[in-house]
A and B are shown apart, each in its own frame.
Chain A
Amino acid sequence: DAGVIQSPRHEVTEMGQEVTLRCKPISGHDYLFWYRQTMMRGLELLIYFNNNVPIDDSGMPEDRFSAKMPNASFSTLKIQPSEPRDSAVYFCASSSRTGHYNEQFFGPGTRLTVL
């Protein structure tokens, strides 16, 4: 298994543009998490899904952010419109209750720069 896959790895866009980040979890994992990493705030949980259903989106900063999980093997995080303060590294992680409890497996991250 290639692990959690994220694309793109780097994204540079201009303020006001729409940004879509993609994630493919590890096959068989039923939890998927989206995090944002910044120097000031560290790792913040944005939203997580269980069996494709959003469970907790209290970390989503604003209505500009939305996330979907149309099936067990794909999720997207969309920012529309993007702003410079959204610049960060966005991580996706997946886990399974049948495995190590709460051991989350992280993707390589997407480094987003909004100019």
Chain B
Amino acid sequence: AQRVTQPEKLLSVFKGAPVELKCNYSYSGSPELFWYVQYSRQRLQLLLRHISRESIKGFTADLNKGETSFHLKKPFAQEEDSAMYYCALSALSTDKLIFGTGTRLQVFP
């Protein structure tokens, strides 16, 4: 079965500290992984995709097939990074996304 696990409901850090939001997935094939973000009073929006291998707002995420993980990282957190982050998986044979339960990131000044 396809499943996405985000073990932390809440992650609190101080400004300037490194951040790692954990995401593990369960899927037998080759998935496509995403991170979506929801800032306060804004819509849920795509942050990054693993196939793009891009850095967005200082965030990166590497797909580790051996550990079935897709952790989101940023070396120095900013207050404006405070938001709800969702990891999502898409099987290549379907068009739907399977979301994790989300992690709320709080960055304190």
Chain B 88-109 per-residue mask, 1 if CB under 8 angstroms from chain A, else 0: 0010001111111110000000
Rounded to whole Å, the gap between the CB of A58 and the closest CB of chain B is: 10
- Residues of B in contact with A, size category: 10 to 19
Residues on B with C-beta less than 8 A from A108 are 43
Rounded to whole Å, the gap between the CB of A103 and the closest CB of chain B is: 5
Among A35, A42, A109, contact of B100 (Cβ-Cβ < 8 Å): A42
A56 interface hit (Cβ, 8 Å): yes
Among A42, A50, A109, contact of B86 (Cβ-Cβ < 8 Å): A42
Among B86, B96, B101, contact of A56 (Cβ-Cβ < 8 Å): B96
Among B6, B49, B86, B96, contact of A45 (Cβ-Cβ < 8 Å): B96
Residues on A with C-beta less than 8 A from B45 are 105-106
B79 interface hit (Cβ, 8 Å): no
Q: How far is the CA of A5 from the CA of B91 in the complex (A)?
A: 27
Task: Flag if A102 contacts B95 (CB, 8 Å).
Answer: yes
Q: Specify the chain A residue showing the minimal Cβ separation from B99.
A: A43
Q: How far is the CA of A109 from the CA of B43 in the complex (A)?
A: 8
B17 interface hit (Cβ, 8 Å): no
A-B pairs under 8 A by CB, number: 54
A16 interface hit (Cβ, 8 Å): no
Residues on B with C-beta less than 8 A from A48 are 95-96
B70 interface hit (Cβ, 8 Å): no
Rounded to whole Å, the gap between the CB of B90 and the closest CB of chain A is: 5
Task: Flag if A33 contacts B86 (CB, 8 Å).
Answer: no
Residues on B with C-beta less than 8 A from A3 are 43
Task: Flag if A45 contacts B95 (CB, 8 Å).
Answer: no
Q: List 24 A-B pairs, Cβ < 8 Å.
A: A3-B43, A33-B96, A35-B99, A41-B101, A42-B86, A42-B100, A42-B101, A43-B86, A44-B99, A45-B98, A48-B95, A56-B94, A95-B95, A97-B95, A100-B46, A102-B32, A102-B34, A103-B46, A103-B49, A104-B46, A105-B45, A106-B44, A107-B43, A109-B43
A residues lining the B interface (CB < 8 Å): 3-4, 31, 33, 35, 40-45, 48, 50, 55-56, 91, 93, 95, 97, 100-109
